[in-house]
Amino acid sequence: MDGRELLQFCSNDYLGLANHPKLIAAMQDTAAQFGVGGGASHLVCGHSSYHHQLEERLAKITGRDRALLFSTGYMANLGTVTALLGKGDHILEDRLNHASLLDAGLLSGARFQRFQHNDMADLERRLRKLPADGNRLIVVDAVFSMDGDMAPLAELAALAQKYNAWLMADDAHGFGVLGESGAGCAEFFGLSQQELPVLMGTLGKGIGSFGAFVAGSEALIETLIQFARPYIYTTAMPPAVAAATIAGLNLLSEEPWRRQHLQELIGYFREQAQAFALPLMPSNTAIQPLLIGDEQAAMALSAALEQRGILVSAIRPPTVPVGSSRLRITLSAAHSKADIDCLLAALVEVLAA
Ligand code: PMP
């Protein structure tokens, strides 16, 4: 920044793939052959063989019948919820869901309720009270973006079955990272397509590229192709991005050490932070926020860290509830233990000042 090199702990490049030579080469080679722009929407002529291959890979990895690419995760959420629900339907969302899911719920025109964060009793109470008519969709972040904790997806799937609702999980922060092979929340919880029928994932975080997808049944994907307006009326991601994403997916199995190393760093950070009595939040993922509370205090801490050569952004309302401003620390396989030691030393210093 401004000519200074900083040690960064706030990107979502959890596996350190965004700068991987294989992704860079795939993007460069494909751009040299196919050009830079996507040129048109998927349904016109923007859908290249790279997009096709990528969708097939995503379906296979997630264990779903089919997958559909979207140009961003925000659009995938808007498109999916609005295609599945309308007036007379019901949507129930965790109150800490990502803004794109909350916006999608509002835009859908369905009756919109937010349940208390990860509170299955509150959700069940609401499900029990729903009228018999209309479709029902329960929507959660698989890993909550600003807290780092996970949704209890097995319990959610059981409730969805019991009350005849569809379940949708946004796996933006789990895809590539969670599960034995990096296939994300469905693999981590062992949830089939029937149990978790609407699976959304992003490609700009763990996979190091850009874009998003929704995976599920033939019927789901056909419905999205016909009715998801943010799919239909936008330019397809460039083929070079699709090619780079395929390279990112290949690395999930080629370099499993990235996930292992990240897990080790998470354990190390939490152990050390606990020893220093830092205000950790209850998270076992790569998102390790420190709860500060006051907005100005969070901003001042972020600035003090920057002076010490460390970049961590302060997250404030309306992104998080009032009084819960925080430093959203994210760890990556690109970090070393020595990097974590630098972060911890700086945190101890600025928090004591
Ligand atoms: N869902 C969640 C949970 C996210 O954190 C994000 C990105 N911050 C998105 C969706 C949007 O994804 P994209 O950046 O690809 O639009």
The CA-based angle 138-61-176, given to 5 degrees, is 75
Does residue 243 have a pLDDT over 90?
yes
Q: For residue range 27-51, list pLDDT tens digits in order.
A: 999 999 999 999 999 999 999 999 9
Any atom of ligand 1 within 6 Å of the Cβ of 285? no
In sequence order, the 6+-apart residues with CB closer than 8 A to the CB of 238 are: 31, 34, 35, 36, 37, 38
Nearest CA to ligand 1 atom 4: 172
CA 141 and chain centroid, separation: 7
Q: Which atom of ligand 1 sits closest to the CA of residue 143?
A: 3
User: What is the enclosing helix (H) or strand (E) of 213?
Assistant: strand 212-216
CA distance 236 to 222: 17
Any atom of ligand 1 within 6 Å of the Cβ of 204? yes
Contact in structure between 84 and 135 (CB atoms under 8 Å)? yes
Which residue's structure tokens are 């569809």? 166
How much is the pTM?
0.96
Q: pLDDT value at position 285?
A: 98
CB-based burial, 240-258: b 16+ in 10 Å, e otherwise: bbbbbbbbbbebbeebeeb
Q: What is the mean pLDDT of the chain?
A: 97
Q: pLDDT value at position 160?
A: 98
Q: pLDDT value at position 246?
A: 98
Amino acid in position 176: G
Where does the chain have alpha helices with state H? 21-34, 49-62, 73-84, 99-108, 120-129, 153-162, 185-189, 218-227, 229-232, 239-254, 257-275, 295-307, 337-352
Which residue's structure tokens are 């850009």? 210
Indicate the annotated binding residues: 73-74, 98, 145, 173, 202, 319
Any atom of ligand 1 within 6 Å of the Cβ of 71? no
If you measure from the C-alpha of residue 202 to the centroid of ligand 1, how many angstroms do you get, rounded to a whole number? 7
Is 205 an annotated catalytic residue?
A: yes
Indicate the annotated binding residues for pyridoxal 5'-phosphate: 73-74, 145, 173, 202
And the tokens for 154? 């097995």
Where does 164-275 have alpha helices with state H? 185-189, 218-227, 229-232, 239-254, 257-275
Among 11, 12, 80, 98, say which to mutate for ligand 1: greatest number of ligand atoms within 8 Å of CB: 98
Q: For residue range 68-117, list pLDDT tens digits in order.
A: 999 999 999 999 999 999 999 999 999 999 999 999 999 999 999 999 99
And the tokens for 252? 């999930």
Which phi-psi region, left, alpha or beta, contains residue 35 (left: φ > 0; alpha: ψ -120 to 50)?
A: left
Q: For residue range 153-184, list pLDDT tens digits in order.
A: 999 999 999 999 999 999 999 999 999 999 99
Q: For residue range 290-347, list pLDDT tens digits in order.
A: 999 999 999 999 999 999 999 999 999 999 999 999 999 999 999 999 999 999 999 9
Is 217 an annotated catalytic residue?
A: no
DSSP 156-182: HHHHHHHTT-EEEEE-TTTTTTSSTTS
Q: pLDDT value at position 187?
A: 98
And the tokens for 52? 């096709």
Q: pLDDT value at position 157?
A: 98
Is 261 an annotated catalytic residue?
A: no
Nearest CA to ligand 1 atom 15: 73
* Helix 73-84 and helix 218-227, axial crossing angle in degrees, nearest 10: 100
Does residue 269 have a pLDDT over 90?
yes
What's the mean pLDDT in 177-202? 98
Q: Please pick, among 20, 42, 205, 261, the residue that the annotation labels catalytic.
A: 205
Q: pLDDT value at position 353?
A: 83
ipTM passes above 0.95 = yes
CB-based burial, 202-214: b 16+ in 10 Å, e otherwise: bbbbbbbbbbbbb
Q: For residue range 120-149, list pLDDT tens digits in order.
A: 999 999 999 999 999 999 999 999 999 999
Any atom of ligand 1 within 6 Å of the Cβ of 96? no
Q: pLDDT value at position 87?
A: 97
Nearest CA to ligand 1 atom 13: 73
CA distance 17 to 1: 21
Q: Please pick, among 173, 209, 261, 332, the residue that the annotation labels catalytic.
A: 173
The domains located in the chain, with CATH, are 21-253 (3.40.640.10), 256-352 (3.90.1150.10)
Contact in structure between 44 and 70 (CB atoms under 8 Å)? no
Any atom of ligand 1 within 6 Å of the Cβ of 328? no
User: What is the enclosing helix (H) or strand (E) of 136?
Assistant: strand 136-141
